Amino acid sequence: MLFGRKKRRIARILIVEDEPLVAFDTEHYLSEAGFEVVATLDRVADAAMILASEAEIDLVLVDLNLADGSGIAVAEAAGSRGALVLFVTGNCPGEARSLAAGCLAKPYPQRDLLTAIDAVEKTLDGKAPKRLPQSFSLFQQAA
């Protein structure tokens, strides 16, 4: 019997983050963890273009405050095409529960991001996550 990684339900990720260092670190960390980063963007307008395209996207990681608007608009566009959303922000918006699978509060250790994504995947599989990062809120009805 061969042991390998379980096929992920969340494999292709769009990152929308306007802090360059956070964006770079997140892209690098997720790529190293085996995810395909579809794009790393810092503007609502650019994210809307990608979300309107045929690009396959499983999850959108989005900050709330972006240079040209709100991550809420990105979450709405992602939701309209069936992509999951995970807010990564210092201040989780009240409407996040209806727009996102969860919210990870900044600052966070990179391993908490992976644990949050794993928790969303488990929820999609109908399972309860064993452990959640302290800075993560999982909105099970959205996942």
| 108 assigned to some structural domain | yes
Using the structure block, give the residue that is written with the tokens 């909105």.
139
Q: Does 36 fall in a domain?
A: yes
* Residue 88 within a domain: yes
Structural domains in the chain (count): 1
Bond before 107 cis per omega within 30 degrees = yes
Taking CB atoms within 8 Å and a gap of at least 24, the contacts of 89-94 are 89/62, 89/63, 89/64, 89/65, 90/64, 91/64, 92/64, 92/137, 93/64
Whether residue 5 lies inside any domain: the answer is no
**DSSP 8-state symbol, 8:** P
Range of the domain at 66: 12-138
CATH number at residue 64: 3.40.50.2300
pLDDT digits 0-9 by tens, 16-65: 999 999 999 999 999 999 999 999 999 999 999 999 999 999 999 999 99
Residue 3 belongs to some domain of the structure: no
Could you tell me if residue 129 is inside a domain? yes
- Confidence (pTM): 0.91
